[in-house]
């Protein structure tokens, strides 16, 4: 799998993402600076990692969504390419119009840094193939603006068409208000595009891929993607 | 050059905090009246904050050497060899005064400043820690201060992408008018690629990079060198505004430049901004420096040379480049969208010369600016010794378990989760032990098995009662906390927070604390490699508790060997170290008996070392499942913290004969650890063979903490008391 990680000014989880991808695939991903206008030839997966692109001084992700490299990412996505956006990357995908909805300030108006649990709502996609439907996994989250919002109509479509990838839940897998720390609508932690090739989520599976750091719960995301391209 | 009229100059000198004799020295050095810019330069360079004029005499007595020390105090941060060809670069620094005036920005820029001290030496920052002291939450403004400081530390650290992995917090009414915010950064660099600040090379360009200079923070260092009065809020314009986004770009740009061979010397612009960086770089290199102020990138129009030299605008660095490399270096900073300007060059005059639009604004000889800087050996008065309390003479108003429940929910012992949950502790993907999981944070080095352990420690109530014993205890506790995760303690950074040094009793606290620290550093092979002094921590004449905060760093050859404190079922609990039942200055005495008195527990440094070396060897042998040092609150609190950490109960043996139960459970005797092991008998035998006192404490399992008299409390109930305190105090949005 040839992966490219995009680095915007203020991106800060590109190293974490590179470590996770390399651990899963055995191959170092390319790092792509925001001023690039073309993706490396043969790119299978583009990753927009976490951080504070442009300081999050406008709406989170709004400025990064306008940067030169995003034109290339949009063309890649339109051509059926696979794109993963995590945290700030999810915000950028929403701001770029590649995924629906928006990430608002956390309901309690505070930054949240803690482990959360998520339930896999749609197994069998390029991003979730190595989980069972309904599987529960853990990942750190670290964000101030992760409160997923979409209007009723969009929400109904996401839910109805099986485009919700992950929901916040208790360790036992119950989707409860208490498990929904940032106040996201319908406990939504991550969503998919209709062609299932774009995925955005707020928590950080890339920071939980090593027993030394407390577990390997996040690894299936990356091994799923690897399989996708190994079999292609 | 426009010189100040004599009477105006004298009046301004006083306003800028120069004493009369200090100002007389300025006149003698210059041989004439100063210009405004010159007076500004002298006053900030000779401020307590920049000159360490009250503390230098004592700081010289601290041990600073060990075979693994690469650079001790005197550089931007301390540098130690950690193996694998790498160096750890670290320092702790205070931002106390600004954080009280403007909590969010004060704390945020504290984090930004200490990060720059570390990456200016070539290190990629891998961890932030902090040491915070707040007043009582019910004191005026205090919740806003707590909320703002925590948001500020998080706001800056989270954005720059350096994990905040550890720290400590105390609450005491002595900090009501003067909270302490001490921030620590640890970074990693190749040991043969360390960047220093001494300028060299006649004609070499002086380059300014980072943010533009504005009118913020002018005379911040002077503000930080004075007591607070009732009008401290009026000093808000002296507080700087942080921009962590620019800092992140600056880190990446500087590290990219440092991978080349273009840099001769580099230093961040911290306190006293362009003044201290240019004066110190040229001074250390024994060269002269000439600056052209119109070339300084400016945020607003019409700034004067005085304002630019005194501004403490954040996220700026000054460097000396090799000649002819300017364009290459500039390309890197332009790539990161940062300002880059050649603002001067080095000379052989030994003077700092400043021109603005062709007009001479300052011309000062550098050598006397440093050599003639004030140095005071201020009078000291010893803190009177407090009586040693005997547990047998103190009545226990309530039993052990009700006292425990109260203690684990008390301000100094309750869970700090409300704070940690606002700090990104996992960015970087190398955090092995997050806040609360172990006695020290453990961060792995990318791509290697090796890891660093880090901690911050001080027990101010001990220091207040006996500064020498308290100073030794602070160092010993940092050493102990590193040991308790299995790390080999290497070195410390110190952040000395005290009151007004012109009062003999305060200077006495300082001198005694340094004496205690020095003894502990020597006995534990744990030298001081960097540090910072913050004096005049007083508001309306009331001083803080003496707080020599210690930041310790240790190394683990293999991160997989680190242990945490969480208890698992089915283990034997063993107490290592001797217990006399020392209740003087204990939290039990304060929180349960309502008394703040007595001599604090002494540290037997030889025993400390023996016990710690034994515990570390046991951890590295793989025999230990969990380890926690006995600190605030004593033995029962230690066991309760392990139980809460692992949601696992324990059954404990009765106190030994001849010791009062409350002394046994809550005494704060030093040099002790609780170990959870599969084979308690083997550990006891090993301890006996090593001549280390140890005894069987009980075993883990179930969901309750059970004492030998049959009384018990559920771990869930302890957790509820432990977790409720801070959220209840801080509920709602105080910001």
Segment B704-729 shows an average pLDDT of 97
Q: Who wins on pLDDT, B232 or B170?
A: B170
Q: Most A CBs within 10 Å: which of B152, B156, B161, as the mutation test of the A interface?
A: B161
Q: Give the residues of chain A that fall short of pLDDT 50.
A: none
- Residue B217 is predicted with a pLDDT of 75
A117 a catalytic residue: no
The structure's pTM equals 0.96
Both structure tokens of B178: 């003067």
- For residue B581, the SS3 value is coil
Q: How far is CA A112 from CA A62, A104, B154, B530, in A?
A: 21, 13, 10, 33
Angle at B441 between CA B439 and CA B445, to 5 degrees: 145
Both structure tokens of B202: 């006649």
Residue B107 has pLDDT above 80, yes or no: yes
Neighbours of B296 (CB within 10 A): 22
The rounded mean pLDDT for chain B is 95
For B156, the closest chain A residue by CA position comes to A55
- For residue B472, the SS3 value is helix
Rounded CA gap, A33 and A55, in Å? 16
ipTM metric: 0.96
Q: Most B CBs within 10 Å: which of A53, A142, A215, as the mutation test of the B interface?
A: A142
CA distance B37 to chain A (A): 35
Residue B388 has pLDDT above 60, yes or no: yes
Segment B226-230 shows an average pLDDT of 65
- For residue A165, the SS3 value is strand
- A55 — contact with chain B (CB < 8 Å)? yes
Quickly state the pLDDT bin for B272 (edges 50, 70, 90).
confident
Beta-carbon separation of B158 and A114 below 8 A = no
Q: Who wins on pLDDT, B665 or B219?
A: B665
Q: Is A186 left (phi over 0), alpha (psi -120 to 50) or beta?
A: left
Provide φ and ψ at B467, rounded to 5°: -60, -35
Helices (H), B491-586: 504-524
A206 a catalytic residue: yes
Look at strands B78-83 and B86-94 and give their pairing. antiparallel
Q: Measured between beta carbons, which residues in chain B are less than 8 angstroms from residue A142?
A: 158, 424, 426-427
Q: Which of A14, A82, A87, A169 is catalytic?
A: A87
- Residue A211 is predicted with a pLDDT of 96
Q: Tell me the per-residue pLDDT of B458-487, one tens digit each, with 9 for 90 and over.
A: 999 999 999 999 999 999 999 999 999 999
Quickly state the pLDDT bin for B734 (edges 50, 70, 90).
very low
Beta-carbon separation of A12 and B559 below 8 A = no
Rounded CA gap, B256 and B450, in Å? 24
Q: Measured between beta carbons, which residues in chain B are less than 8 angstroms from residue A9?
A: 245, 248-249, 336-337
Counted across chains A and B, CB pairs separated by less than 8 A come out at 93
Of A109, A114, A214, the CB nearest to B733: A109
Rounded CA gap, B191 and B208, in Å? 26
Segment B80-91 shows an average pLDDT of 98
Q: How far is CA A154 from CA A185, A200, B566, in A?
A: 11, 16, 44
Quickly state the pLDDT bin for B235 (edges 50, 70, 90).
low
- Residue B270 is predicted with a pLDDT of 84
**B484 closest CA partner among B686, B587, B631:** B631
Is the Cα torsion angle B228, B230, B231, B235 positive or negative in sign? positive
- B419 — contact with chain A (CB < 8 Å)? no
- Residue B735 is predicted with a pLDDT of 41
Contact B462, B548 (CB under 8 A): no
Q: Measured between beta carbons, which residues in chain A are less than 8 angstroms from residue B420?
A: 113
Q: Tell me the per-residue pLDDT of B580-604, one tens digit each, with 9 for 90 and over.
A: 999 999 999 999 999 999 999 999 9
- B429 — contact with chain A (CB < 8 Å)? yes
Residue % of chain B over a pLDDT of 70: 97
Contact B383, B515 (CB under 8 A): no
- What are the beta bridge partners of residue B573? B676, B698
Residue B228 has pLDDT above 80, yes or no: no
Of A10, A111, A140, the CB nearest to B422: A111
- For residue A29, the SS3 value is coil
CA distance B443 to chain A (A): 9
Both structure tokens of B611: 């016990």
Rounded CA gap, B82 and B123, in Å? 13
Both structure tokens of B125: 């920052």
**B252 closest CA partner among B375, B348, B115, B69:** B115
For B154, the closest chain A residue by CA position comes to A111
Q: Tell me the per-residue pLDDT of A112-122, one tens digit each, with 9 for 90 and over.
A: 999 999 999 99
A82 a catalytic residue: no
Q: Measured between beta carbons, which residues in chain B are less than 8 angstroms from residue A14?
A: none
Of B151, B427, B446, the CB nearest to A12: B427
Both structure tokens of B14: 């006083």
Q: Which of residues 169-198 of A touch B (CB under 8 A)?
A: none
Beta-carbon separation of A112 and B428 below 8 A = no
- For residue B98, the SS3 value is helix
Q: Measured between beta carbons, which residues in chain B are less than 8 angstroms from residue A210?
A: 429
- Binding site as annotated, residues of B for ATP: 52, 91, 494, 531
Rounded CA gap, B454 and B445, in Å? 13
Q: Measured between beta carbons, which residues in chain A are less than 8 angstroms from residue B422?
A: 110-113
Contact B624, B617 (CB under 8 A): no
Contact A128, A221 (CB under 8 A): yes
Of A19, A57, A111, the CB nearest to B158: A111
């Amino acid at each position: 799998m040839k992966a490219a990680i995009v680095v915007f000014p203020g991106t800060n989880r590109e190293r974490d993402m590179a470590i996770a991808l390399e651990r899963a695939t055995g191959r170092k991903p390319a790092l792509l600076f925001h001023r690039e206008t073309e993706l490396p030839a043969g790119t299978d997966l583009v990753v927009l990692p976490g951080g504070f692109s442009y300081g999050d001084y406008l709406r989170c992700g709004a400025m990064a969504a306008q940067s030169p490299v995003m034109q290339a990412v949009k063309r890649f996505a339109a051509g059926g390419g696979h794109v993963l956006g995590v945290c700030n990357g999810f915000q950028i995908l929403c701001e770029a119009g590649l995924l629906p909805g928006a990430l608002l300030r956390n309901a309690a108006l505070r930054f949240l840094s803690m482990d959360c649990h998520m339930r896999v709502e749609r197994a069998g996609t390029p991003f979730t193939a190595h989980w069972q439907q309904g599987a529960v996994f853990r990942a750190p989250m670290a964000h101030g603006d992760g409160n997923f919002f979409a209007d009723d109509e969009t929400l109904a479509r996401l839910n109805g068409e099986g485009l919700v990838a992950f929901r916040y839940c208790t360790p036992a897998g119950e989707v409860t208000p208490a498990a929904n720390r940032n106040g996201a609508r319908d406990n939504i932690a991550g969503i998919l595009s209709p062609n299932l090739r774009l995925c955005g989520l707020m928590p950080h599976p890339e920071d939980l891929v090593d027993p030394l750091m407390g577990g390997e719960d996040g690894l299936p995301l990356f091994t799923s993607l690897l399989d996708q391209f190994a079999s292609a | 050059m426009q010189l100040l009229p004599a009477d105006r100059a004298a009046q301004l000198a006083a306003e800028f905090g120069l004493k009369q004799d200090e100002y007389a020295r300025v006149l003698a050095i210059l041989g004439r009246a100063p210009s405004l810019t010159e007076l500004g330069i002298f006053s900030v360079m000779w401020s307590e904050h920049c000159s360490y004029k009250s503390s230098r005499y004592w700081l010289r007595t601290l041990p600073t050497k060990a075979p693994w020390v690469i650079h001790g105090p005197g550089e931007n941060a301390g540098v130690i060899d950690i193996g694998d060809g790498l160096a750890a670069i670290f320092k702790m620094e205070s931002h106390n005064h600004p954080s009280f005036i403007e909590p969010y920005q004060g704390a945020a820029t504290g984090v930004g400043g200490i990060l720059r001290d570390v990456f200016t030496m070539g290190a990629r920052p891998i961890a932030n820690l902090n040491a915070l002291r707040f007043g009582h939450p019910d004191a005026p403004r205090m919740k806003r201060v707590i909320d703002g400081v925590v948001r500020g530390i998080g706001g800056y650290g989270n954005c720059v992408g350096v994990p905040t992995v550890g720290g400590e917090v105390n609450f005491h009414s002595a900090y009501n008018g003067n909270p302490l915010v001490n921030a620590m950064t640890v970074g990693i660099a190749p040991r043969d690629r360390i960047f220093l600040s001494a300028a060299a090379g006649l004609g070499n360009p002086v380059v300014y990079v980072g943010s533009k200079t504005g009118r913020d923070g002018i005379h911040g260092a002077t503000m930080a060198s004075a007591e607070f009065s009732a009008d401290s809020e009026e000093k808000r314009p002296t507080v700087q505004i942080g921009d962590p986004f620019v800092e992140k770009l600056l880190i990446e740009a500087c590290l990219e430049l440092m991978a080349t061979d273009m840099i001769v010397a580099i230093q961040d612009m911290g306190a006293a901004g362009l003044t201290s960086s240019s004066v110190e770089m040229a001074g250390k290199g024994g060269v002269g420096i000439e600056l052209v102020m119109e070339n300084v990138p400016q945020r607003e129009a019409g700034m004067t040379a005085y304002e630019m030299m005194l501004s403490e605008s954040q996220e700026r660095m000054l460097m000396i480049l090799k000649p002819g490399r300017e364009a290459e270096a500039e390309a890197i900073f332009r790539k990161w969208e940062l300002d880059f300007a050649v603002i001067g060059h080095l000379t052989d005059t030994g003077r700092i010369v400043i021109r603005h639009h062709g007009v001479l604004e300052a011309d000062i000889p550098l050598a006397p600016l440093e050599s003639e800087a004030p140095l005071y050996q201020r009078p000291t008065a010893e803190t009177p010794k407090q009586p040693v309390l005997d547990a047998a003479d103190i009545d226990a108003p309530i039993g052990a378990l009700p006292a425990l429940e109260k203690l684990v929910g008390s301000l100094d012992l309750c869970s700090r989760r409300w704070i940690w949950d606002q700090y990104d502790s996992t960015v970087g993907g190398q955090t092995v032990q997050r806040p609360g999981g172990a006695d020290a944070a453990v961060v792995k080095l990318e791509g290697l098995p090796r890891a660093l352990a880090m901690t911050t420690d001080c027990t101010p109530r001990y220091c207040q009662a006996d500064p020498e014993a308290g100073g030794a205890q602070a160092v010993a506790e940092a050493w102990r906390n590193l040991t308790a995760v299995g790390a080999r303690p290497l070195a410390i950074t110190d952040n000395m927070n005290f009151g007004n040094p012109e009062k003999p009793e305060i200077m006495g606290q300082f001198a005694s604390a340094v004496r205690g620290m020095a003894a502990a550093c020597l006995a534990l092979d744990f030298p001081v490699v960097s540090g910072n002094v913050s004096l005049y921590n007083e508001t309306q004449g009331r001083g803080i508790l003496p707080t020599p905060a210690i930041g310790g760093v240790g190394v683990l050859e293999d991160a997989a060997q680190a242990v945490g404190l969480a208890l698992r079922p089915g283990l034997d609990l063993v107490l290592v170290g001797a217990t006399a039942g020392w209740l003087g200055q204990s939290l039990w005495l304060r929180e349960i008996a309502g008394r703040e008195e007595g001599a604090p527990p002494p540290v037997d440094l030889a025993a400390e070392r023996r016990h710690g070396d034994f515990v570390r060897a046991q951890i590295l042998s793989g025999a230990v499942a969990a380890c926690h040092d006995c600190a605030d609150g004593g033995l029962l609190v230690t066991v309760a913290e392990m139980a809460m950490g692992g949601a696992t109960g324990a059954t404990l043996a009765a106190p030994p004969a001849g010791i009062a139960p409350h002394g046994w459970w809550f005494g704060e005797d030093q040099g002790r650890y609780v170990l959870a092991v599969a084979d308690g008998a083997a550990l006891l035998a090993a301890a006996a063979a090593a001549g280390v006192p140890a005894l069987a404490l009980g075993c883990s399992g179930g969901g309750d903490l059970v004492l030998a008299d049959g009384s018990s409390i559920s771990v869930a109930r302890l957790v509820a008391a432990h977790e409720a305190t801070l959220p209840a105090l801080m509920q709602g949005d105080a910001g």
